Amino acid sequence: MDTVTTIAAVREHVRAWRRQGLRVAFVPTMGNLHAGHVSLIEAARQHGERFVASIFVNPMQFGPNEDFAHYPRTPLQDAGMLAAAGCNLMFSPEASEIYPHGAERATRVEVPGLSRILEGEFRPGHFEGVSTVVTQLFHIVDPDVAVFGLKDFQQLTVIRRMVADLCMPVEIIGAPTVRDADGLAMSSRNQYLTTAERALAPTIHATLLIAAQRLAAGDAEIASIERAGVQALEAAGFRPDYFAVRDAATLSPPLPGVRELVVLTAARLGKARLIDNVQVTRP
């Protein structure tokens, strides 16, 4: 695996692969890799012949009171994991390479509507930061296919919409969420949990599954299902931001005929803010 930090070096590698007619798959990350990220690389391997991963903790997608400064950074460990997973090129730029005029002055990409609901309501500007950096990374890497985790379901939805709206020639793949044995979705932010909080954290997935089971059984009382989710999380000691049943394609509240649904939640536990979701097909 080669490791590069400049846009020019990424382009040089990718152009050489293109001249050989090789299909390029890309996994954007913020580093601090865990088994969930490795599964993204494995998904990428099914769709390409050369693999690029970026490691960039994107300042634009963090709010002023969020964890940008403390976000775990483990570049050496990340490089080892990527190389072992079969990655060919690791791109880990400095912020000045991506935002030469500073993140505040950079040109921005915004997917309206979708970016303002759910996570967007609680993290204003977050998805603008994500769609902007993903656009830049796509222009830099020029991949045929890019892989994103389904754990960040709304992020994947925003990116799919952006790629369609802006006619970006990139195939977007959603890779399944990787969970610990007790159901907790893997996330770099799980490190913020104390031992006692870590023991409670799987309640998030369990609560989502209860909601999904009600929907799968034909229960159409969406408001009641959402209320029960919030109450269960609160009773377990979480501070939920939202617990929502949505149309899996649009993230709108589901119309009666819509069968493909997703239940999404974000909840705070101690210093951590955890998000998760489950998809469900109703009868």
- We find the least distance from the C-beta atom of residue 95 to ligand PAF, in angstroms, to be 12
- We find the least distance from the C-beta atom of residue 244 to ligand PAF, in angstroms, to be 20
x-or-dash string of contact with ligand PAF, 30-69, rule CB under 6 A: x---------------------------x--x--------
Phi and psi at 264, nearest 5°, equal -120, 145
Among 78, 119, 128, 152, binds ligand PAF (CB under 6 A): 152
What region does 272 belong to: left with phi over 0, alpha with psi -120 to 50, or beta?
Answer: beta
Q: Whole-angstrom Cα distance, residue 283 to residue 264?
A: 19
Helices (H) and strands (E) in the chain, counts: 10, 9
- We find the least distance from the C-beta atom of residue 258 to ligand PAF, in angstroms, to be 26
Q: Whole-angstrom Cα distance, residue 186 to residue 25?
A: 22
Among 28, 120, 174, 254, binds ligand PAF (CB under 6 A): 28
- We find the least distance from the C-beta atom of residue 61 to ligand PAF, in angstroms, to be 6
Q: Which is nearer to ligand PAF, 163 or 215 (CB)?
A: 163
- Catalytic residue, from 13, 34, 37, 47: name it: 37
- Residue 71 structure tokens: 């976000």
User: Is 119 among the residues that bind ligand PAF (CB under 6 A)?
Assistant: no
Q: Which is nearer to ligand PAF, 78 or 152 (CB)?
A: 152
- We find the least distance from the C-beta atom of residue 28 to ligand PAF, in angstroms, to be 4
Whether the CA torsion 15, 17, 20, 21 is positive or negative: it is: negative
x-or-dash string of contact with ligand PAF, 68-107, rule CB under 6 A: ----------------------------------------
Among 14, 41, 133, 248, binds ligand PAF (CB under 6 A): 133
Q: Which is nearer to ligand PAF, 79 or 134 (CB)?
A: 134
Q: Which residue's structure tokens are 């998805």?
A: 127
The window from 16-24, 127-135, 202-210, 239-247 that contacts ligand PAF (CB under 6 A) reads 127-135
Longest Cα–Cα distance of the chain, Å, equals 58
Q: Does 37 qualify as catalytic in the annotation?
A: yes
3-class DSSP state of 119:
helix
- How many residues bind ligand PAF (CB under 6 A)? The answer is 10
User: Is 134 among the residues that bind ligand PAF (CB under 6 A)?
Assistant: yes
User: Is 263 among the residues that bind ligand PAF (CB under 6 A)?
Assistant: no
Going by C-alpha positions, the residue among 169, 91, 162 that lies closest to residue 129 is: 162
Residues 262-265: contacts with CB within 8 Å, 24+ apart? 262/153, 263/208, 263/211, 263/212, 263/215, 263/225, 263/229, 264/118, 264/153, 264/154, 265/204, 265/207, 265/208, 265/229, 265/233, 265/240, 265/241
Q: Give the count of beta carbons closer than 10 Å to the beta carbon of residue 97.
A: 17
CA separation, residue 89 to residues 24, 133, 270 (Å) = 11, 18, 37
- We find the least distance from the C-beta atom of residue 187 to ligand PAF, in angstroms, to be 10
- Would you name the residues annotated as active-site residues? 37
The residues binding ligand PAF (CB under 6 A) are 28-30, 58, 61, 130, 133-134, 152, 155
